Amino acid sequence: MKASKIDQNQINEVVWKACDTFRGVVDPSEYKNYILVMLFVKYLSDLWKEKLEEAKAKYPGKPELVERYMSRQRFVLPEGSDFYSLFAKRKDDNIGEEIDVALEGIEEANKAKLEGVFRNIRFNSESNLGETKDRNKRLKNLLEDFADPRLDLRPSVVGDADVIGDVYEYLISRFASDSGKKGGEFYTPKGVATLLAKLLKPNKGAKICDPACGSGSLLIRVANEVPDPDDYALYGQESNGSTWALCRMNMFLHGKDSADIKWGDTLNNPKLLVNDSLMKFDIVVANPPFSLDKWGADEAASDPHNRFYRGVPPKSKGDFAFISHMVETSVNDTGRVGVIVPHGVLFRGAAEGRIRKAMIEENLLECVIGLPANLFFGTGIPAAILLFNRAKTTRDVLFVDAGKQYEKGTNQNLLRSEDIDRIVRTCQTFETVDKYAARVTFAEIEENEFNLNIPRYVDTFEEEEEVDIPAVQLRIEGLEGELADVRETMKGYLRDLGLIHATK
């Protein structure tokens, strides 16, 4: 019997219930670390269980063949390290220690793919989870929550669902958006990630990089646009250790085990190198933290990779630092870059203005796309997408004002499939669309002093219908006559009722 697909709402319900385990003990911003790690262990356990059932059905009564079959799987789950073994021990006095030992065992057995992913999480931590008695109770409750029969994470049930990414997004939307913003952990909403992926549309064999990859969902969506699902290479870097671990787990969940995800500060310590030089990529995509303060401007002038030769961005705004890095890590002559930025990047002056001018003069900028407000967690401001293309065949730049097409949500607005399709189609045709897009020459941008503010180029003003003054005057006079007749009729009724004197 074929298993029915799991509903993401069911997963969210279980996760929300599990959050009760930590309320009042762990800061809400840290809930996701414990929840997502346990979710990952549950996924590994369900996947292993399904494969083991397949092996036993394929080789009944032949344990040696079953063992050989399991040894060829994508990962190894050591005996006693699976969720179900931990669940059986949920009442043990040292359950926190046993969970940590199980995590270490999973890492040790899968060094090439999972080494380090649990290094920032400790289930036996008194400082995080309380004294032994309280900690044991909380962990027992957590294991029981995840034993919910609705939380069946076998591949035959989950399908292509982005389990980690969707739960990550759910947790942020419920209570962790502020902490996410402070930590620079931005989860790119699905609609925006899908838009970027379709705009960049990588070719077969592409090397794809996200230098601020967060939980990795944007990188995964771009990879899924490659025509050949097995012919590409993924790279990323993330500065937050917990988020880096989630990204590694997310890659594993999606079968992208070979993704090279580094932990470190991209701007101050880029780790994707070849012979001490920056690696080059066919596609570079990112949703970096908006206007990052203290990003490392003091050392940028002496950058060993010479990424900031066009100018050093302001100390308090790292937007152009990320853009400069991304452009410099794209392949010469063919590389393409897609980056999400706050609107200030389009028009702020001083150092940012000089960098923007240099990039336009080098004919790198291809499209400027304005997005609706309130699409992102932690900020209601509208954002924009900048597309750079080292293979441009024209000096023109396309401006798209897509800020008015969206679905209004309770907490966040959403890009619909029709909104995404229209933006992609407009960028592909690269032509002016009345009230929506404008193909602008280099001379016009130069005339505007390299200011990229979209309303300068896309006129979305809707003229009001011309008012026929004489006709309106006649209508007013007619209404005044009708009003006078009504008043006389009312007076007649009132006189008949004796409510006013006849002389009035």
Q: Answer whether 8-161 and 190-456 agree in fold.
A: no
What is the structure's pLDDT at 33?
84
Map out the domains of the chain as residue ranges. Answer: 8-161, 190-456, 468-504
Identify which has the larger pLDDT, 228 or 28.
228
Say which CATH topology domain 190-456 has: Rossmann fold (3.40.50)
Say which CATH topology domain 8-161 has: Ferritin (1.20.1260)
Concatenated DSSP letters for 265-277?
A: -TTTS---EETTE
Q: Judge whether residue 3 has pLDDT over 70.
A: no
What is the structure's pLDDT at 463?
62
463-492 pLDDT, tens digit each? 666 777 888 888 888 888 888 888 888 888
Amino acid at 212: A
Identify which has the larger pLDDT, 494 or 437.
437
Residues 386 and 338 sit within 8 Å (Cβ to Cβ): yes
Mean residue pLDDT across the chain: 89
Instruction: For residue 171, give both structure tokens.
Output: 């947790």
70-92 pLDDT, tens digit each? 999 999 999 999 999 999 999 99
- Residue 436's pLDDT band, with cuts at 50, 70 and 90, is very high
401-412 pLDDT, tens digit each? 999 988 888 778
88-137 pLDDT, tens digit each? 999 999 999 999 999 999 999 999 899 999 988 999 999 888 899 999 99
Instruction: For residue 149, give both structure tokens.
Output: 């029969």
pTM over 0.75: yes
Question: What does the alpha-carbon distance between residue 93 and residue 407 come to, in Å, rounded to a whole number?
Answer: 51
281-330 pLDDT, tens digit each? 999 999 999 999 999 999 999 999 999 999 999 999 999 999 999 999 99
| Closest alpha carbon to 99 in 52, 41, 14, 23 | 41
What are the backbone angles phi and psi of residue 490, rounded to the nearest 5°?
-65, -40
318-348 pLDDT, tens digit each? 999 999 999 999 999 999 999 999 999 999 9
